[in-house]
Structure 1
Amino acid sequence: MIDYESYIETIDDYIVNRTKTVVIAFFVVTLVFSAGLGNISTEAGTSQFTEDSPAADALDSVDREFSQPFDDGGGSTQLIQRGQNVLAKEAMLDMLRVQYRAQQREGLRVTSTSSFASIVARTLDPSATTLEAQIDAMEGATRTEVRTAARQVLSTQSAQSLVSDDVNRESVTASATIGVVSHDVPGAGSSGAGTGGTSPLTGIQEQIQYITTTVGSDIEVFGSGLISAELSSVILDSLLIVVPAAVVLILVFLVISYRDPFDLLLGVVSLLIAIIWTFGFMGLAGIAFSQMLIAVPPLLLAVGIDFGIHAINRYREERVEGRDISTSMRITTDQLLVAFTIVTVTTVLGFLSNTISDLAPIRDFGLVAAVGILFTFFIFGIFLPAAKVMMDRFRERVGLPRFGSNPLGSEDSVLSTVLGVGVTVSRYAPRLFLVVVLVSTASVGAYGTGVDTTFSQEDFLPPAEQPQWLQELPEPFAPGTYTVTRNLDFLEENFESSQGSSVIIYVEGDLRRGSTLESIQQASQSPPDVFVTDDRYAESSSIVTVIRDYADQSPEFAALVDRNDIDDDGIPDQNLERIYDELFASPYADQADDYLTDDYRSAQVVYTAEAGASQDAVVSGGETMAERFRQSSTATGQTFVLVAVTNTIFSSAIESLALALAATAVFLVIAYKITNDSWSLGLANLVPIVVAVAFIAGTMRYLGIPLNALTATILSIAIGLGIDYSAHVVHRFADEYEESGGDVTFALRRTINGTGGALTGSMLTTTSGMGVLALAITPILGQFGIVVALSIGYSYVAAMVVSPSVLVVWDQVVG
């Protein structure tokens, strides 16, 4: 075997004999890492999950190249107008005035604006190409003339997407309409799957919000800048609620566990150092703080609290036996450094398994969590013992009293009686009990394979309606006012083209060729069943739609199209560049911009999927349609990006779980072979973890908690944190088993009484600390807090109840 004990003796010597040197060295390193705290940036939203996705890249191109009324990208701001009738003359004037005032402010960098009101104004006066002229045209027209022009515009398909689904074409009424203000802002483009990070549009859209108040109309501003602002503020608001609650609960349980103010101070300082090191590392490494990394501090607290309670509790076990400070700490570190090493390596392996994910945020989470756990090992394995020795020597010199010196779970305590349930079962029916456990684990695990997998921007956003208790919180804990989710819901409910059931075919190539428009039309013939059809053709919007709309309104343009329509089907077959030029010089230029780029080399065709169609069916149908186009074409849209990320999340969860289990098993076998000359103890150590993972998967399905961007890491986390409990039990048992000469019952009783007490204190502290994430404003954080707390609880129960029977059977077979 490797002589690992010589290394531990060296560390023992530094802890006991060079105490001040160790403490000072750790504080110096803390100062170094604290320099990185100022470099931490934030990244929020879903765009961070969609990098390197073909569908997302195509949707980015669509957002960048076309003016989309509803897509939150391309440097645009949406103006949502609501009212009893937003198609009335006065309401449309309000929309035009907001557009005009936004355009007049140079700081808003407005390049163009569009709205239903603008189209109506140009219909009233075709020469009204500026917003000022459009306002004059609208003001100079009678209500009857405005209504007649609006009814005429409503007959065109391309204008219908700008008004709500409740539009009445006869009475010319609607309850909502959309306006768009486009900006020339570098870096303002967004991913089609969502937005995030610091948006350069935030300040611009906040200024437009102020402009709407000066008009006095019921117009709300919506866009990527405001989404980014809310995503960032909801993180801060969640932390402001969760952190104080977690601190209070953790301090309560730490007071109960330590029962000594000086030991409590050491534990809290050690936790603070672990947080500083980890976040300092993030700043120095240039890793942005995202929603996923909110889980890192609680995870560090979970492991740090466990290590701290174990170190102090084990030290007290020796002190109550009458041993001096140095001897007690040497015995403590001799045993716990090995256990801490096993726990740390397996936990790090569990988190590092996430670095194989195709999603960058999950990779960052795995790396930061692994580094943080490694830091926690050094701080609680070396710094805390050294500081404890220095403090106790000081207390003896000055005569300070000792508090709560008895260890948790001593043999005569009530806790010891409760913890002994697993030992009692292992004495009478260990094999039968394990059969029941294994059958239950297999059944629950099979059930858990049906857990849902989801990914959506709404997971990261605050709810549309805040719970009553949130609204009653006093300052500074009261959260801000959130409108983004409410506006998203409104768009989905009231505008057909914003419902996420659209399929976009992004077409690239020279679109001036004579067969281009014919091929677009032919691709729509006899589509897959998932698409809405009209006379055997898929219902669609494209440059063909705009050409037909303008031809219906302009006899001159209709004649041009007819002269170039060889087969007389209403679609020009030649001289397309001339037709495009005429279209972009007409009042329909804004609509043409929605589907064709100025260089005529990129286009989009938007299809409508059947209501209620599954995401997988929409994706399959869209890919089939893309294959029909003669040009290079990619099927994309919100659904495509979300399905791609959802599939990646599921595969990442399974792959990370498999890697974590395999790597943990290999390490445990090697570790116990080196430390106890028994590789089979490594497999015994793994059994409770498999039980906990199976039960957490089953519980997630039962509670309806899906695998999402954050909870997808829970399976590998369950291994990383769960191994903490079983490793302490098995390693302590191995030491007691050897000292007792193979008396398995005595070894188990000593293990549960000693280690079990510390594990109980750790479990109660960390489950409450993680459980308070359920108070977070965003749903994804609340779900993550619940499943992590459950995984810790399951790991604890498995270690206390299942491990004794596993170890008894191990003794009967191998021991």
Structure 2
Amino acid sequence: MTDDESTPLRDGLERVGRFSAENRRTVFSVVAVLVVVSLAIAGASVQMSLGMELYIDDDSQTNQNWQEVKADDTFDLGNNVFVMVETDHLYEPETIRTIDRLDRRYAASGEFSSVTSLADVVRRGNGGEIPDTEREVRASIARVESTDSSAAALVSNVNPDRETALIVATYGEVDVPPSDAQYFGFLPGTAAGYLTDEVADATDHVHVPPHVDVTVTGAPVFENAAFGLMLPEMIQLFAVAFAIIFSVVFLVMRGRLYRTWKVFLPVGTALVALVYMLGMMGVVGFNFNAIMLGVLPIALGLGIDFSLQLHTRYIEEREKGYEPVDAAGAAARTTGNTLLLAMATTSIGLGALLVSAVPPTRQLGATAAFGVIAATALSLTLLVALLVELDGDEYETVDAPSDGDAAAADGGNPPSPDADQPAPEPSADDGVLGDDEPAFERFIGSLSGGIAAAPLLVVVLMLAAIGGGAAVYHDVETTQEMLDYWPDIEQRDDLAELEDTAQSPNVIYLVVEGKDAYSPTTFRRASAFETAIEDHDDVNAAMSPVTAVEIANDGEIPESRTRLVETVDRQAASELMPIGDRADTPDRFVIQLFVADIGGQEVRHLIDDTEAVADKHLATERTAVTGKPVVNRNVIENVTSGRDPMTVLSFGMATAFLALALRSLRESVLLVVSVAISAVMLISMAMYALGIPWNPLTVATGSIALGAGITYGIHVHERFKEELYVNNAAPAAAMREAMVRKSRPVIGSGATTLFGFGALGISDFPVLANFGIAVALAMTFALVTAFVFLPAAALLLARWTATYDAA
């Protein structure tokens, strides 16, 4: 099929272009109404969501186990705020009374399910009172420690050394007041933020002696501080990114536009597509988060790309002498066809993110794909209407249409350039661009000539570089610690100090459920589990109703159910052993495992070991391992588990679609291999060399490279075919014309995305900075492959095969 063949699709696109050009007020009115509706929906429903739970599926077993532990009608556990009390006079009664006042103040807030401190230990060892001398304080602590090993471990949790005491405030679900929302409700309050403020406020209302230092810390405190910095930073970065994007579009396109202010048209059209995308997010219930913020520069960059393609083609048609409406129809017919092909392929590439195990990554793919579809529709309607409406007849005719097309378009009088007009642009057969051409076009023309002179050498060199990327693809590291996602701030230093000081800064929970959970038999099996798991190098102590019963009964489990239940209920009132109310969970209880400061694969090993020990000793009960370390580990593992399937699926689907759309498997493979796969392999090599790891954001780079990179390749390749089939140009001349004609819009749009994402590279958040750098690399390599590897490979196909023989 030749490129100028009449088809229902091309004819329909031309009708759309003509309709938009002739019915501009209708187009403007419809677009305006949809903008207002989209803004209203987005403003009412789209928010910024924070927290690590966003990155696991709501219906996953991991999340269900985690929510079970956190629920206020079950265990109300899961999160711990630590208050570090540091002093050289820790065991003086005045210091213990200060800790006691802090403890009671936190408990009085009613937001914590339990508050445990060294003051509770001292009271437990001294009949409920705080002694009057340091010697008696030490003796009280020693009496509790001597009860058994579990009690000794619990004491160590709140008194890790002679100068430090820890107050541990535990909470699960929290009702956050609406007044905690910021930015007019866009950033809702979080439990971590609300309780951090509550603890800080309570601390300020307690008199603390001058020799005592108090620090509020813990994972919730750090995450609240980090998340609180994210949105303001993102607003600043996107402001910088948009300024860069607009500047790049202006600089690249000013040599092609007759009136430079018209650079606002493609940028404005892309911004309208972003508004529609926000409306779509509101309709389907998507919110912004650390990953979803990346959709803005993706959609904006691709939207500008599509708009620039149609804008530059409209200029070409006007320069041929077509009247505005006819030029609009011709641009929609030719470039519109390419845009639809690019839109579909890009949507497939981004749609492959739907197989990710990380929910925000799936949302990113769906939202970005919708943004591309909206940008395509607006380019063929709104942009066309704007171009015709604002057409000031400023275009110089440089090449009259052939076969009387211009005559038909202009009532039978073909336009002809007068003597004062500049010389026409060289045709595809001219060989060299004239000296009056802009330097940018001359450079691209020279690049094309170099590629045409030695296409095989170019292909060999590119394959060597791609092979290097393939060799290190699986050697790119994955971020193993959630802490490495966040910036270096004061709260991070406090958390690091806590992890260095506390023997058990982390807690893992084992839920035990059975028909007869509170029976001597079940408790004995649970006791055997606790004994076995405490032998693990990373577990310092276990605490549960079982432990509480053993402490109260000289290490034994009562033979009688009645006595056991009475003991559990009595111990539940103890401030030192916060084991919860049996009435809330009559068929289950939770074993808390106090864990050392471990990370990475050590967490996975501990999870697996805990499950194995539970299966051995609690085979007849349902058991589930959960906790924040478990949730964080699942997020990290989901990153790598979905990377390869997403990449393979996107490449496979794109290849199949292009083969059907182009009716050529060779062309399909050419585009996917020479642009998308090549870019991904080059990206992996750069990430390996620069030490950029895989994380929940960078794993999407492959699909983004396919989505954006294949678009660039399609623009160049389709124009190459047009020059071959319509203008009967030789392959080398056709490729030169395609590269020159597409250089400004393609490189301009690629540069917008490149620099737009590049702005993220200066972020204080490593997860965002790495994402920005990775996508900037992706855009760079996509442009390189589209303007170097693809042309060389296409020229070799034209030379050695019949791929481009016109049907």
TM-score (norm 2): 0.82
Tell me which residue corresponds to 2:526: 520
SS at match of 2:520: coil
- Quick check: 1:238 aligned with 2:233? yes
Question: How far did 1:738 drift?
Answer: 0.9
Contact 1:349 1:720 in 2 (8 A): yes
Is the contact made by 1:504 and 1:635 (CA closer than 8 Å) also made in structure 2?
yes
Name the counterpart of 2:83: 79
Show structure 1 runs of 5+ residues with no match: 127-136, 189-195, 397-403, 466-482, 552-556, 559-569
1:524 to 1:720, Cα distance in 2 relative to 1, 3 A: same
Query: Residues 393-443 of structure 1, C-alpha deviation per residue, up to 9 Å, x if partnerless?
Result: 4889xxxxxxx9999997633323432465334433323432342343233
Shifted more, 264-273 versus 214-223: the winner is 214-223
After TM superposition, the structure 1 = structure 2 runs for residues 228-267 of structure 1, keeping only pairs within 5 Å, are: 229-230=224-225, 232-259=227-254, 260-267=259-266
| Aligned partner of 2:96 among 89, 92, 104 | 92
Deviation at 1:321, TM superposition (A): 4.5
Determine if contact 2:724/2:730 at 8 Å carries over to the other structure.
yes
Instruction: Provide closer, same or farther for how the CA distance between residues 695 and 417 of structure 1 changes in structure 2, counting only shifts above 3 A.
Output: same
Shift of 1:267: 2.9
Q: How many residues align?
A: 736
1:115 corresponding residue in structure 2:
117
The equivalent residue for 1:270 is: 269
| Cα 1:763–1:521 shift into 2, 3 Å | same
Matched, 1:625 2:613: yes
Distance of 1:222 and 1:38 partners within structure 2: 34
Instruction: Tell me if 1:148 matches 2:139.
Output: yes
Give the residue type in structure 1 aligned to 2:85.
Answer: Q
Question: Structure 1 residues 56 and 109 mapped into 2: Cα distance closer, same or farther (>3 Å)?
Answer: closer
Q: What residue is the counterpart of 2:453 in the other structure? A: 428
**Separation in 2, partners of 1:444, 1:794:** 12
Deviation at 1:146, TM superposition (A): 2.1
* Segment drifting more, 804-813 vs 443-452: 443-452
Query: In structure 2, what is the Cα distance between the partners aligned to 1:66 and 1:463?
Result: 37
Residue aligned with 2:48, SS: coil
Query: 1:178 corresponds to which residue?
Result: 167
Change (3 A) 1:94 1:395: farther
Opposite residue 567 of structure 2, the aligned amino acid is E
* CA gap 1:64/1:88 in 2 versus in 1, 3 angstroms: farther
The 5 A counterparts of 1:486-565 are 486-498=493-505, 500=506, 504-509=509-514, 510-523=516-529, 531=537, 540-548=542-550, 550-551=551-552, 557-558=553-554
CA deviation vs aligned residue, 1:466-495 (integer Å, no higher than 9, x gap): xxxxxxxxxxxxxxxxx3x34432332221
Deviations 1:94-115 (A, max 9, x none): 222223334555xx55665332
Is residue 2:333 matched to residue 1:334? yes
CA-CA distance at 1:512 after TM superposition: 3.2
- The residue type paired with residue 652 of structure 2 is A
Equivalent of 1:805 in 792, 801, 805:
792
8 A contact 1:504–1:606 mirrored in 2: yes
Query: How far apart, in 2, do the equivalents of 1:581 and 1:529 lie?
Result: 29
Asked if structure 2 preserves the Cα contact closer than 8 Å seen for 1:120 and 1:146, the reply is: yes
Q: How many angstroms apart in 1 are the aligned matches of 2:221 and 2:297?
A: 29
Cα deviations across residues 767-811 of structure 1 (Å, max 9, x unaligned)? 111100123332211111111111000000000110111111221
Which whole-Å CA distance do the structure 2 matches of 1:382 and 1:86 have between them?
74
Partner SS for 1:506: strand
- Which residue of the other structure, out of 752, 763, 770, is the alignment partner of 2:757? 770
Report the equivalent of 1:654.
Answer: 644
* Paired residue type of 1:300: A
In 1, Cα distance between the equivalents of 2:327 and 2:735?
22
CA contact (8 A) 1:86 1:177 kept: no
Question: What is the deviation of 1:78?
Answer: 4.0
**Equivalent residue for 2:406?**
none
Question: Offset of 1:349 from its aligned partner?
Answer: 1.0
Letter in 2 for 1:124: N
The answer to whether the Cα contact below 8 Å between 1:45 and 1:460 also exists between their aligned partners in 2 is no
Deviation at 1:338, TM superposition (A): 1.2
1:582 maps to which residue?
A: 567
CA contact (8 A) 1:319 1:325 kept: yes
2:549–2:571 Cα contact (<8 Å) kept: no
Partner of 1:101: 105
> Which one is further off, 625-634 or 719-728?
625-634
The change in CA–CA distance for 1:162 and 1:701 in structure 2 (over 3 A counts) is farther
Letter in 2 for 1:31: V
Report if aligned partners of 1:246, 1:769 keep a CA contact under 8 Å in 2.
yes
SS at structure 1 position matched to 2:84:
strand
* Residue 666 of structure 2: aligned partner: 680
Q: 1:750: Cα distance to partner?
A: 0.4
Pick closer, same or farther for the CA change 1:104–1:766 going to 2, 3 Å: closer
For residues 453-468 of structure 1, the aligned pairs below 5 Å read: 453-454=478-479, 457-458=482-483, 461-464=486-489
Determine if contact 2:307/2:375 at 8 Å carries over to the other structure.
no
Query: Cα gap change, 1:445/1:216 in structure 2, threshold over 3 Å: closer, same or farther?
Result: farther
Asked if the contact 1:66–1:596 (Cα under 8 Å) also holds between the matched residues in 2, the reply is no
Q: Given the superposition, is the C-alpha separation of residues 56 and 90 from structure 1 closer, same or farther in structure 2, using an over 3 Å criterion?
A: farther
Q: Secondary structure at the match of 2:287?
A: coil
Match of 1:736 in 2: 723
User: Structure 2 counterpart of 1:776, which letter?
Assistant: S
AA at the equivalent of 1:143: E
**Any stretches of 5+ residues in structure 2 without a counterpart?**
2-6, 178-186, 396-421, 427-431
Return the letter of the residue paired with 2:789.
V
Alignment partner, residue 54 of structure 2 = 48
**Contact 2:158 / 2:167 at 8 angstroms: preserved in 1?**
no
Matched, 1:571 2:521: no
State the identity as a percent. Answer: 22
1:561 alignment partner in structure 2: none
1:10 aligns with 2:35: no
| 8 Å contact from structure 2 (residues 154, 541) kept in 1 | no
Which residue of the partner structure matches residue 635 of structure 1? 625
Please give the alpha-carbon distance, in whole angstroms, between the structure 1 residues aligned to 2:532 and 2:153: 25
Cross-structure match for 2:408? none
User: Structure 1 264/451 Cα, relative in aligned 2: closer, same or farther at 3 Å?
Assistant: same
DSSP 3-state at the match of 2:390:
helix
One-letter amino acid of the structure 2 residue matched with residue 640 of structure 1: V
The one-character-per-residue Cα deviations of 1:286-337 (angstroms, maximum 9, x if unpaired) are: 2222221101110112112222332333333344445443444333322211
Written as runs of structure 1 = structure 2, the 5 A alignment for 1:124-523 is 124-126=126-128, 137-138=129-130, 141-155=132-146, 157-158=150-151, 160-161=153-154, 167-168=160-161, 173-180=162-169, 185-186=174-175, 198-200=189-191, 202-217=193-208, 218-222=213-217, 229-230=224-225, 232-259=227-254, 260-393=259-392, 412-420=437-445, 422-454=447-479, 457-458=482-483, 461-464=486-489, 483=491, 485-498=492-505, 500=506, 504-509=509-514, 510-523=516-529
Contact 1:530 1:610 in 2 (8 A): no
Q: Say if 2:32 is the partner of 1:27.
A: yes
Aligned partners of 1:405, 1:304: CA distance in 2, in Å?
Answer: 33
User: How far apart, CA to CA, are the structure 1 residues paired with 2:253 and 2:390?
Assistant: 15
RMSD, aligned CA:
3.6
CA distance in structure 2 between the aligned counterparts of 1:607 and 1:183, rounded to whole angstroms: 17
Question: Is residue 709 of structure 1 aligned with residue 699 of structure 2?
Answer: no
Q: Distance in 1 between the 2:288 and 2:458 partners?
A: 45
- TM-score, scaled to structure 1: 0.82
1:612-634: CA deviation from partner (whole Å, max 9, x where unpaired) = 86344333322321211233222
The answer to whether residue 661 in structure 2 is matched with residue 666 in structure 1 is no
Q: List per-residue Cα deviations over 1:365-418 (Å, max 9, x = no partner).
A: 22111111111111223211220111114889xxxxxxx999999763332343
Q: Is the 8 A contact 2:519 2:564 kept in 1?
A: no
- Distance in 2, matches of 1:52 and 1:410, equals 61
Equivalent pair of 2:709/2:779 in contact (CA under 8 Å): yes
SS at match of 1:101: helix
